[in-house]
Amino acid sequence: GAGVSQSPSNKVTEKGKDVELRCDPISGHTALYWYRQRLGQGLEFLIYFQGNSAPDKSGLPSDRFSAERTGESVSTLTIQRTQQEDSAVYLCASSRDTYGYTFGSGTRLTVV
Amino acid sequence: RKEVEQDPGPFNVPEGATVAFNCTYSNSASQSFFWYRQDCRKEPKLLMSVYSSGNEDGRFTAQLNRASQYISLLIRDSKLSDSATYLCVVFHSGNTPLVFGKGTRLSVIA
């Protein structure tokens, strides 16, 4: 597609439930990134996929968070047993080179 | 010390004013630098790269001082549409993700 597509755009879930967030990057972009942005805060790096290399998971805040990417296409970020502190906007970006990021419009997650 | 530090603001300026934002970074080996703009409840978008010699794009001027590990953004003749949060962004090296500052909020007032 023309841009990075994220779904759902909004998600309200009950504490303790699992959620899956999806990111569809720009075609041809080998790199894909997940960031989290809490209300009024900056972007917090979560995980980075580059081609077929092992992902950089150094930003994942706990083992409740995981992400997958199939080849150079769609990625899913899964949060298990959601907590209220997981409430945030989850932003996905893709790039062809090292730093020409294009962000999706994000998934706004609210844990109640 | 945070990797990328910015004054959070807010900066409230009248239309037509000149405003400058500063940013410092902690990793002296950082290679590339950028300013992103984020509108309220929107995703960040690249505003401009920052080059060692300084660079200008219309009303926007970016400067880099590697010795002081300091980056700046100057906006001249501010417009109402410039109201946004400006994110200072640093790239270290190799296969590493961009590091974002928390942003400086600008409100341009009529």
B66 Cβ neighbours under 8 A, 6+ residues apart: B28, B52
How would residue B1 be classed by pLDDT, with cut points 50, 70 and 90?
low
pLDDT exceeds cutoff 70 at B27: yes
Confidence grade of residue A1 (pLDDT, cut at 50, 70, 90): low
Over residues B38-65, the mean pLDDT reads 95
Residues A42, B100: C-beta atoms closer than 8 Å = yes
Cβ A103–B102 below 8 Å, yes or no?
no
Q: Which of A41, A53, A91 sits opposite B43 (nearest CB)?
A: A91
- CB-CB contact of A100 with A111 (8 Å): no
| Nearest CB to A103 within list B32, B43, B96 | B43
- Cβ atoms of B62 and B7 within 8 Å: the answer is no
A51-61 mean pLDDT? 92
Q: Which chain A residues contact residue B91 at CB under 8 A?
A: 98-99
pLDDT confidence of residue A15? 97
Where residue A35 falls among pLDDT bands split at 50, 70, 90?
Answer: very high
> What is the model's pLDDT at position B94?
79
What type of residue is B21? Answer: F
